[in-house]
Chains A and B, each alone.
Chain A
Amino acid sequence: MSDLLTSVPEDKPMSLMPDEVVFRRGLAGRHLRGRVWKIFFMMAIVLALLSLVALFLNVVNSAAGLIVVQYNIDPAEVVPNGDLAAATAEQLAAGIVEYEPNRALVLIRDNLSSVPVDQFSASTMSQILGTHLYPESAADKTPRDLEPEERAAILAQNLSVDVMKQFISDDIIGLNVLETHSLFESIFDRAAIEEHFAAEFDPATTRLEFRLWLRPSFLTSGQSSDPVLAGIRTALIGTIWIVAITVLVAFPIGVGAAIYLEEYAAAFGNINTRFGRFMQWFNRFIETNVRNLAGVPSIIYGLLGLAIFVRAAAEFTSGRFVGVTDSNGRTIISASLTMALLILPVIIINAQEAIRAVQSSIREASYGLGATKWQTIWNQVLPAAMPGILTGTILGMSRAIGETAPLVIVGASTATFLDPNGPFSSFTALPIQIYQWTARPQAEFRAIAAAAIIVLLVLLLLLNATAILLRQYFRRKLQT
């Protein structure tokens, strides 16, 4: 605008209006330029949306597809339907006893026996199994005399499902994924894959089958180094523990800080006293600080958690003070506290905005009826601000579910195969699992990473849907 004005000489004001012909010629060009740029602006949005679509399709594409598997024994003969991951303990035990009756004894000896190895075959089952469960008929028999049903019953009652699955997969079926194809390839290029399979593989020991990597048993199976058996139960439980404790810690503190900044900070500072001026400065400092913390990369919080919670506070976070002995500081509580610090600014900023939006007439009416400051906040301001506060908290929870870097740093190399059973146990979490699987070069691991990503995204979607529902519920409650 300014160059338009300066380019016109002062003494010839009429030249502001260009010649009619020149103007009309220029006009077409200007409109054309306008249209071209509008298309560019639109393309920006379209490209963003396309990347979103590509991202989702890419994940879905990997989460199912044809695989070439190799078996020593057809899994359908060992367990019903051949679906190892979904089989019950009884079915698994029966399969083990049928195909490897002697190895079943080895399993009992290695996992359950309480007598020395050299006395194993001479002892009775009641001596061997001690407090473990076993059928009464087996009590006085030596291992060799056990009926197949008794062996199966002992296995089914005592061994974990994951151990038996692993055994069947490794030692009976010999299941091995040789090739993995993506979903779209499997649908649109099936003929080529089948041709390739017929040419390259022996149909006697291998099979081409369609596998949905995301299946119910994927959610219920524990950790495994075998992608066919691996599941996310342990990671899912870890994530739920971490997010729950994170919110329990961060919600009250975050809302408290927001109340302080919005409701008390102004009243604290009487500008006419030196203390008042200090408090005003101090409160502004806190505000600035919260905003800066929101911009600190999550990995820095990870380093903070590693040095403070994992290392310096190991006595507390390892649970040694309550008698937990089997862990170091790399526990769920460390991860949760780190995550709580990370999402605090999100909760504070959102809660502040929600509290600020509450009309001051509500507060004044409350004071007018004789309520104290805290009674006013607790009974009037907080309920009115609750929809906004909850939205912010759920935003924070979404971040806590998806954040990976701090968890990797705090949880690190704790390869855990056990489900976490409390705040002081070591953990793995859904994003860590996705990271570790994605980092493996084999296509099968990419496939289960994709399946885990779908679970993670569905979890986030549910959470955000809850946020919307809660907000509507509180709105309606406020109106009535």
Chain B
Amino acid sequence: MSTPSEAGTMSARSTAVDMRARREARTTIFRRPRPGETVIQLFLLFCGVLSIFTTLGILYVLGSEALLFFGSGLVDLGEFFTAPVWQPQAEQFGIMPLVSATLMTTLFSMIVAIPLGLGAAIYLAEYAKPQTRATLKPILEILAGIPTVVYGYFALTFMTPLLRGIFGQNTVSIYNVASAGLVMGIMILPTIASMSEDALSAVPRSLREASFGLGSTKLEAILKVVLPAGLSGIIAAFIVGISRAVGETMIVALAAGAGPCKLYGENASCFQPFGAAETMTGHIVRISGGDLSYNSIDYNSLFAIGLTLFIFTLVLNLISRWITNRFREVYQ
């Protein structure tokens, strides 16, 4: 680089040559076409866009097959939401028995996962020494990493006999909603615990100290200051937990029962905690595991159930995201 004073001492001709050389040099650095990099950038863009295609694919597949289902003439929307049974053989397609079973297992799982998950989170974040925490957290994560089919085995061979031992063989059937729900709660516990713990740990120390300074005990500081401050994160954790419970498949497929319950009318069997009931996910797995021919009403009905399930979990996930973003307290 030459300074203006140096340039002034040079002849006009040499300055022009210099300028051109410099312009060329600049071109080689900035403008040289790099086809390789462009190709790579396009590939990376494609990778990013692929996730959108996945979502579109899910929406298209569920939507189009569900349309075929409703267009088959065997079922209309009113019947879909009000009929008391789901019996494809009898051409009765009421989704509510399946939904009610899903809600029942979800309820049971939350009875376990919310108090225990939150309790574990409070213990880890507020009481445990750093070393204890460092050992306990990975162990909890093992619970989260165990495949769901193993939990299904656990529900069927441990929880069900346990419940039958406590409440009697006649009260509790071999396949029952409670067993599946309780084990599902154990499975979801680490998710809720770890998300809530993050929320609690994000509450600054100064708030706790201010509370101690006003004379509160440790418990009072936790219940009246720390928990309210971390509430948005905790509720988001609960909702993520519920969403996982709604979409969970293998536990309910193995332990909750292999036939939809009846919602109302004679012999109504939904809402019995120790009775068998098939959830949306359980039904999809059982039907698709058998002989399934394309273009049959059975095949299409799976996607109608899948669409219902997808909407459920999507709404729950969106609410959870909204709560975290909307109500998050940001501390300096």
Residues of A whose CB lies within 8 Å of any CB of B are 1, 4, 30-31, 33-34, 37-38, 40-45, 47-49, 51-52, 54-55, 58-59, 62, 252-257, 259-261, 264-265, 283, 285-286, 288-293, 295-304, 306-308, 311, 341, 344-345, 348, 372-374, 398, 401-405, 408-409, 412-413, 431, 434-435, 438-439, 446, 449-450, 453, 456-457, 460, 464
A47, closest chain B residue (CB)? B116
Q: Is the CB of B145 within 8 A of A460?
A: yes
Please report which residues of chain B, range 293-308, place their CB below 8 angstroms from some CB of chain A when the two chains form the complex.
294, 302-303, 306
Residue interface mask B47-89, A partner, CB < 8 A = 1: 1111110110110011001000000000000000000000000
Bound: A232/B41 CA distance, A: 44
Residues of B whose CB lies within 8 Å of any CB of A are 34, 36-37, 40-41, 43-52, 54-55, 57-58, 61-62, 65, 115-120, 122-124, 126-127, 136, 139-140, 142-143, 145-154, 156-158, 186, 189-190, 193, 211, 214, 217-220, 223-225, 240, 243-244, 246-250, 253-254, 281, 284-285, 288-292, 294, 302-303, 306, 309-310, 313-314, 316-318, 321
Bound: A283/B318 CA distance, A: 18
Partner of B51, one of A58, A345, A431: A345
Partner of A348, one of B43, B51, B317: B51
A52, closest chain B residue (CB)? B143
Partner of A412, one of B127, B140, B292, B317: B292
B193, closest chain A residue (CB)? A48
**Nearest-CB distance from B66 to chain A (Å)?**
11
Q: Is the CB of A341 within 8 A of B54?
A: yes
Partner of A30, one of B61, B115, B220: B220
Given contacts A297-B249, A303-B61, contact A449 B153 (CB under 8 A): yes
Bound: A196/B290 CA distance, A: 40
Secondary structure class of chain B's binding surface, majority of residues? helix
Q: Is the CB of A299 within 8 A of B249?
A: yes
Q: Is the CB of A299 within 8 A of B154?
A: no
Bound: A431/B310 CA distance, A: 24
Q: Which of chain B's residues have a CB closer than 8 A to the CB of A40?
A: 119
Partner of B146, one of A33, A55, A289, A373: A55
A345-B51, A405-B284 given. 19 additional CB < 8 A pairs? A4-B214, A44-B117, A48-B116, A48-B189, A51-B186, A55-B146, A59-B153, A264-B44, A286-B49, A300-B310, A308-B61, A404-B148, A404-B149, A435-B152, A438-B152, A449-B153, A453-B153, A460-B145, A460-B146
Bound: A33/B222 CA distance, A: 12
Q: Which of chain A's residues have a CB closer than 8 A to the CB of B61?
A: 303-304, 307-308
B320, closest chain A residue (CB)? A295
Q: Is the CB of A48 within 8 A of B140?
A: yes
Given contacts A44-B123, A296-B58, A304-B57, contact A434 B153 (CB under 8 A): yes
Partner of A293, one of B54, B65, B186, B217: B54
Partner of B147, one of A62, A299, A431: A431
Bound: A295/B244 CA distance, A: 8
Q: Is the CB of A413 within 8 A of B290?
A: yes
How many cross-chain pairs have Cβ atoms below 8 Å apart between A and B? 256
Q: Which of chain B's residues have a CB closer than 8 A to the CB of A450?
A: 153
Bound: A446/B214 CA distance, A: 59
Given contacts A62-B157, A296-B313, A300-B309, contact A30 B148 (CB under 8 A): no
B36, closest chain A residue (CB)? A374
Interface centre among B52, B61, B218 (most CB of A within 10 A): B61
Bound: A48/B183 CA distance, A: 11
Bound: A289/B59 CA distance, A: 13
Q: Which of chain B's residues have a CB closer than 8 A to the CB of A55?
A: 146, 150-151, 154, 158
Bound: A127/B120 CA distance, A: 74
Q: Which of chain B's residues have a CB closer than 8 A to the CB of A446?
A: 153, 157
Given contacts A297-B246, A299-B247, A457-B150, contact A253 B50 (CB under 8 A): yes
**Nearest-CB distance from A316 to chain B (Å)?**
15
Bound: A426/B55 CA distance, A: 27
Q: Is the CB of A372 within 8 A of B34?
A: yes
**Nearest-CB distance from A361 to chain B (Å)?**
22
Bound: A405/B281 CA distance, A: 9
Q: Is the CB of A457 within 8 A of B37?
A: no
Given contacts A51-B186, A297-B246, A435-B254, contact A256 B43 (CB under 8 A): yes
Q: Which of chain B's residues have a CB closer than 8 A to the CB of A62?
A: 157
Q: Is the CB of B294 within 8 A of A297?
A: no
Bound: A38/B157 CA distance, A: 33
Q: Is the CB of A404 within 8 A of B249?
A: yes
B258, closest chain A residue (CB)? A439
Q: Is the CB of A304 within 8 A of B219?
A: no
Q: Which of chain B's residues have a CB closer than 8 A to the CB of A439?
A: 254
**Nearest-CB distance from B312 to chain A (Å)?**
9
**Nearest-CB distance from A424 to chain B (Å)?**
20
